[in-house]
Structure 1
């Protein structure tokens, strides 16, 4: 909730005047660090017994999201035609990965095994979900208007 409130107060009102190429690089850079999800597979980063049914899909899904984010970043910064399509692919995969990881963690009781990696679901996942939301808003907007939380603003 805190990340959404911060985005709504400080980020969303300012995005209307920014181009796709200005908005996306910081978000894509942030998501390029999702390789940190591999910590779920690292001895000592979680408690022994973390359910493999959660750890492997969550870790590998994060790795795929990180790679897609970085490839998308290069395409956006270099203004490649495929940039917007790559951002769509990244954003869909990344959102589905986080949603699936939350569901698997809940279904298999993974939270009690998070150990030192507790900060990933406590801090990282909410922040990433908000940036996915922002990315969907940016992607679905046209060149003249974007709808932010019910209000249409001119770009």
Structure 2
């Protein structure tokens, strides 16, 4: 009995009409990116809910962690820039929501308003970190993929630049 040769790699895509011969691997990457993004957002929501903040959106969670980063006050424009978010109004809405929840406060300096986490915001960030360590970091540590994750992260940041440039090109058509 002979075994027909199995392909070494079978691409999985979500939109076959985008997966031309030249774009098959890109389509496969974009599908995987979509799956990772959706799983990451589900994870953030679960971790936040376990930290007793079930009403936060994924963007809210990213924003509060960024505002806690290095414990330095930041302007809304800074947060939007760091998170690569074009629509500053979404970040502004998120910050207002976090202020109402008591996780973030503001202070004025000249014409600028800076935001920083409150004690309750710090407690949330640290609780989130502890849950992340327990549920995710330990499991990933057993897989010995730290170096690979760093390489993937570098590649993804590089690809974000290509997508940004392609966005500009598409808008100029």
Fold shared per TM-score above 0.5: no
TM-score by length of 1: 0.31
TM-score by length of 2: 0.28
